Structure 1
Amino acid sequence: PRPFAGRGCRGVGLPVRNDMINIEGEVALKTELFGDPQALFEQLGRPGPVHRVALPDGMPAWLVTGHAEVREVLSDPRLVRGADAAAPELRQYLGMYSDDFVLTRHMMLSDPPDHTRMRRAVSKAFTPRRVEQLRPRVEKITRELVDAMLPQGTADIVDALALPLPIAVICEMLGVPFEDRAEFGQRAEVITGMNASSGPQELVGAGRWFDAYLGSLVERRRTDPGDDMISGMLQAQIGPDPLSDLELRSNAFILLVGGFETSVNLIANGLLALLRHPDALSRLRDDLSLLPEAVEEMMRLDSPVSTVTYRFATEKLTIGGVEIQPGDHVAVSIAAANHDPTRFPDPSRLDITRKTNGHLSFSHGIHFCLGAPLARLEGEIAFRELLSRTDGLRLAVAEEELRWKQNFIVHRLEHLPVTFASAEEA
């Protein structure tokens, strides 16, 4: 992609640097803090909802941690995603800028009116009705995955359930042939390694692969449409303000990656939370009608997306009593906002009956996650199947042996080994 490609450029970050030293007036933050709100609060070292920090990639930012203030930021039109609004000194941190790159020309990194136009087109293909129609298929895929686990008495939940379930579902929604899904998953893992294990050249390579693959898939659907989301997005092209071909491919890409990342982390992180709170696990197993509330509480307790970056002030404004200058970078800690004790008392405790209305794990405002109904559906079905068909679930390793993906944007377990007995044989 061309760097600094003019007005409306979108950014993709550079690899993380955890060796950053303190910059004057800023607190340098390491990656692991972003998935641990209590440790983050301790590191920030002072009260207040807004902090001057250096992110793990070195980029200066105002980090917003208060629940009310994060909601404010996520809905304030004076804070835009388009990186052309960024102060010149910030551009060195915005690795790849381009209006013609598939990784960055989607609605998540767009502002109105482009965002409005893109979301309208994608929403026509990603409707709640379409998601609900997937329920029997999600149940079947989940049942088959658990079938394969049960005879072993042990499994890595990430590899056996949390990852393959949402990848299979989103690929079916997009009409990706079964034989291509393994490579889709591998390439998507490179993208989710952004700001962590994946370097700029790997990201560019994965982006080009997605661009070429999705381009060929789109062309096939033009001549042979089906009951999939790409066909639905093509149908939405008939009318005013259609998506460009690049925008269609880019939004298909973000649906693919976003369509599984949240669910993977919900299932794995949520199960770990239950294992850490055995009373909650027992109560939920005894009363699966609590699942909808429990899933929301799992999302709040350990948000799959921990940080949202790349919002730039277009004018002077005040957040939480702190004056933000034009061009400043504002990032929000979703994890910290979900642990704000003024909004959620005793926030580190898993309370599966907690009223979690207002948690921010699916974001807020115009960028509220379009895939939220799908993540909830997959989470509820996965936990229902797992809890109803196993007994004695417990970690197969000491908790300190668990490892998290080195990424300050998402909070993802590398593996979650567990042991269990089959409830069907008990």
Structure 2
Amino acid sequence: MLQRTGEIPLTTHVFGDPEALFTALGDRSPVHRVALPDGMPAVLITGNGAAREALSDPRLVRSVSAAAPELHRFHPLASDDYPLSRHMLFADPPDHARLRKLVSKAFTRRRVEQMRPRIQEITDELIDVIAPKGRADLVETLALPLPIAVISEMLGVPFADRAEFERHAEVLTGINASSGFDDIIAAGRWFDTYLAELVTRRRAEPGDDLISGMIAAQEAGDRLTDLELRSNALLLLTAGFETTVNLLANGILALLRHPRQQAELRADPSRLPNAVDELMRFDSPVSCITYHFAAEPLEVAGFAIEQGEHVVIAAAAANHDPAVFDDPARLDLGRENLGYLLGFSHGIHYCLGAPLARAEGEIAFGTLLRRLSQLKLDVPESALEWKQSFVLHRLRALPVRFTAA
């Protein structure tokens, strides 16, 4: 049994707003002991340096088997009833390196550069639909369908199935917030059945897609079980679009809120690569990186953590650490020290899809600014709604009006 005192109870909305989180915590100390919105006790790391230290520490593991017994009820993805948790995100060495190696070739910078023309084509097709209308919900018409189309094509998911898997993926990304335990289990079972059928089809008719590639690696003798194959396919499907949806929607909103920065970026598209990272830092798609458990007692930034405790990295707060980012509440598309950005995590679990997400961001923002002018919110900013989650910072809708260039 963990012995904890002084837990600060936190509500969901503060995780997407670093200033609100710092206020709720009472100070800007880099580590705090808190109660998450679902009641789960955790050590919350908000400092950028402390976060990088924690994410590099091999004593903080992803396996829920290292968690204190009283924490297991908060983790439905580790339940015996949930079928698809054998993927690299919840794996520790040496399994992590084995699983990551099997899919890393699909996300190299060279492979992503080869995909840019197709990403551009999809983006143009989506904007072709909305350009004559003068107004649109940019979550529904751009931020959501673009990354879904890209990752679906990479994995070989038939176009007709995308809406259905998007619906079930929404349930999984609502973990510990808008989705209940039973909903998570049901969505996992749907994906297990769906992916088993898809894998069977790809075995019979291989294609130039990632699932076919994993099957080929398995048949060539790489140590990959059928369950690991399906689990990693699910991880790539869900992680491959959810965070990019938020990057696009949150980034567009930031540009709407800062018209001068929007105009400067429209005038000089060469700034797009740096702008993507700054937009991600300014309004992080991922509020928290959860499910790290202390395999033994340790210290982070001088803070003592007990064996079995749950350690959470507040990525949005770490991206607003004034010790690293000067005037962090200011959007600066020319900011130079973005190497400390935690938008894609850090350490061995650094996001494989980072080059792909950056490419989609550059193409989506650049095309939007090139083809649509006079971009403005079509509702009062106070009317915007965010998905209930302390893990992801996700707009439900982004209504805008514009003029086709």
Give the TM-score taking structure 2 as reference length: 0.96
Partner of 2:157: 176
Correspondent of 1:66 among 33, 47, 65? 47
Instruction: Give how far 1:24 is off.
Output: 5.1
**Whole-angstrom CA distance in 1 between matches of 2:72 and 2:199:** 33
What residue in structure 1 maps to residue 7 of structure 2? 26
Moved more, 321-330 or 345-354: 321-330
CA distance in 2, matches of 1:261, 1:92: 25
Specify the SS of the correspondent of 2:327.
coil
Q: Closer, same or farther in 2 for the Cα pair 1:223/1:213, shift >3 Å?
A: same
Give a deviation string over 1:280-310, Cα, whole Å, max 9, x none: 0010011111000000100111111110111
Matches within 5 A, 1:388-407: 388-407=370-389
Deviations 1:306-350 (A, max 9, x none): 101111111121111211111111111000100000100110111
Matched, 1:103 2:84: yes
Two-structure CA RMSD over aligned residues (Å): 1.4
Question: 2:171 corresponds to which letter in structure 1?
Answer: V
Query: Which secondary structure state, in structure 1, belongs to the residue aligned with residue 43 of structure 2?
Result: strand
Aligned equivalents of 2:196 and 2:323: distance in 1? 48
* Alignment partner, residue 256 of structure 2: 275
* Counterparts in 2 of 1:381 and 1:47: CA distance versus 1, 3 Å: closer
Shift of 1:238: 4.0
Mark the CA change 1:152 to 1:264 in structure 2 (over 3 Å): closer, same or farther.
same
Counterparts of 1:131-146 in structure 2 under 5 Å? 131-146=112-127
Aligned residue for 1:237? 218
d(CA) in 1 for partners of 2:190, 2:70: 32
Aligned pair 1:249/2:203, yes or no?
no
How far did residue 132 of structure 1 move? Answer: 2.1
Structure 1 counterpart SS, 2:65: helix
Q: Does 1:207 align with 2:206?
A: no
CA contact (8 A) 2:344 2:350 kept: yes
1:196 aligns with 2:177: yes
Task: State the 1:93 CA deviation.
Answer: 2.3
Q: Which residue of 2 aligns with 1:285?
A: 266
What is residue 13 of structure 1 aligned with on the other side?
none
Match of 1:258 in 2: 239
Q: Which amino acid aligns with 1:378?
A: E
Does residue 387 in structure 1 map to residue 387 in structure 2?
no
User: What SS is found at the alignment partner of 1:273?
Assistant: helix
The total of aligned residue pairs comes to 401
**Cross-structure match for 1:15:** none
1:370 matched to 2:352: yes
Q: Is the 8 A contact 1:102 1:247 kept in 2?
A: no
* Structure 1 residue identity aligned to 2:344: F
Note if 1:151 corresponds to 2:132: yes
Deviation of the 1:412 alpha carbon: 0.3
Structure 1's unaligned 5+ residue stretches are: 1-22
- DSSP-derived class of the 1:237 partner: helix
Do structure 1's residue 347 and structure 2's residue 328 form an aligned pair? yes
Q: How far 1:96 sits from its partner (Å)?
A: 4.8
**% identical equivalent positions:** 62
Q: Which moved more, 1:294-303 or 1:100-109?
A: 100-109
Task: Please give the secondary structure, in 2, of the residue aligned with 1:347.
Answer: coil
Letter in 2 for 1:77: P
**In the alignment, which of 206, 224, 233 is matched to residue 225 of structure 1?**
206
CA contact (8 A) 2:48 2:324 kept: yes
The 8 Å contact of residues 159 and 415 in structure 1, kept in 2 or not, is answered as yes
Question: Is this contact kept in 1: 2:84–2:230, CA < 8 A?
Answer: no
In 2, the alpha carbon distance for the partners of 1:390 and 1:262 equals: 24
Q: Which of 313, 335, 339 is the aligned partner of 2:316?
A: 335
For 1:124, the aligned partner's letter is K
Is the Cα contact below 8 Å between 2:203 and 2:215 reproduced in 1?
yes
Q: Report what 1:41 is aligned to.
A: 22
Moved more, 212-221 or 244-253: 212-221
CA contact (8 A) 1:121 1:242 kept: no
Instruction: Give the secondary structure class of the aligned counterpart of 2:403.
Output: strand
Instruction: Tell which deviates more after alignment, 260-269 or 189-198.
Output: 189-198
- Measure, in 2, the Cα distance between the counterparts of 1:193 and 1:316: 31
1:114 to 84, 95, 99: 95
Unaligned runs of 5+ in 2: none
Write the distance in 1 (CA, Å) between the matches of 2:39 and 2:155.
36
In 1, are the aligned partners of 2:275 and 2:333 still within 8 Å (CA)? yes
Using the alignment, how far apart are the partners of 1:231 and 1:92 within structure 2? 36
